[in-house]
Amino acid sequence: MIPISFSWDTQKRSISLQWNGFFSFGWKKGRALTKILGFPIPFGFKKKKTHFPIRWDYLKEGFSFLSKWKLKKAEGTFSFPDPMVNGLLYGWMSATQTGKACRKINVTINFLGENRCSGEAILPLKSFFQHLKRWVFLFLQERRRKRS
């Protein structure tokens, strides 16, 4: 299995999509980055306004696609402006995480006003191509409807 990896980090302000270390695409501090074999490739976007109609078929396929991702790790710390909410969430989180030393998900509540989140999720390549095939089929059906 050659997985596709999606990772995010709010502290570094980065989002990346990687395939087997060969190809990666993402954003870091507001700039788009594309790399092939670790070498940056200049790639620009033209701002073009597109309209995608929201139909039940698209939503159903989107939710099905999201359910195929496996969470590899996630960690974060959150703080809310109200100290009472922070106290309630801190108590609830400490009660639910007792006795679990090795976890993929590590979320904490703090009182310092610090918010950050990072993590990684993977998707098998087979699932990616199955969903890509369905999306292309739905797109072609939509184009045929517009022509008729």
Structure confidence by residue, pLDDT tens digits, 125-144: 888 888 888 888 887 887 78
User: pLDDT per residue over 63-97, tens digit each?
Assistant: 888 888 888 888 888 888 888 988 898 888 878 77
Confirm whether 82 is domain-assigned. Answer: no
Confirm whether 90 is domain-assigned. Answer: no
Summarize the confidence of residues 115-119 as an average pLDDT: 87
Confirm whether 70 is domain-assigned. Answer: yes
Instruction: Give yes or no for a contact between 114 and 79, defined as CB atoms under 8 angstroms apart.
Output: yes
Confirm whether 130 is domain-assigned. Answer: yes
User: pLDDT per residue over 21-30, tens digit each?
Assistant: 777 878 777 7
Confirm whether 96 is domain-assigned. Answer: no
- CA–CA distances in Å: residue 27 to residues 13, 68, 116, 117: 8, 23, 17, 16
Summarize the confidence of residues 38-48 as an average pLDDT: 66
Confirm whether 95 is domain-assigned. Answer: no
Confirm whether 13 is domain-assigned. Answer: yes
Q: What is the count of structural domains for the chain?
A: 1
Confirm whether 54 is domain-assigned. Answer: yes
List CB contacts of 114: < 8 A, sequence separation 6 or more. 77, 79
pLDDT at 53: 64
pLDDT at 6: 83
pLDDT greater at residue 114 or residue 103: 114
Please give the residue range of the domain that contains residue 35.
3-74+118-147
Separation CA 116–CA 107 (nearest Å): 10
pLDDT at 2: 65
pLDDT at residue 55 above 80?
Answer: no
pLDDT greater at residue 55 or residue 49: 55
Average pLDDT of the chain, as a whole number = 79
Amino acid identity of residue 31, one-letter, is R
pLDDT greater at residue 10 or residue 100: 10
pTM beyond cutoff 0.85: no
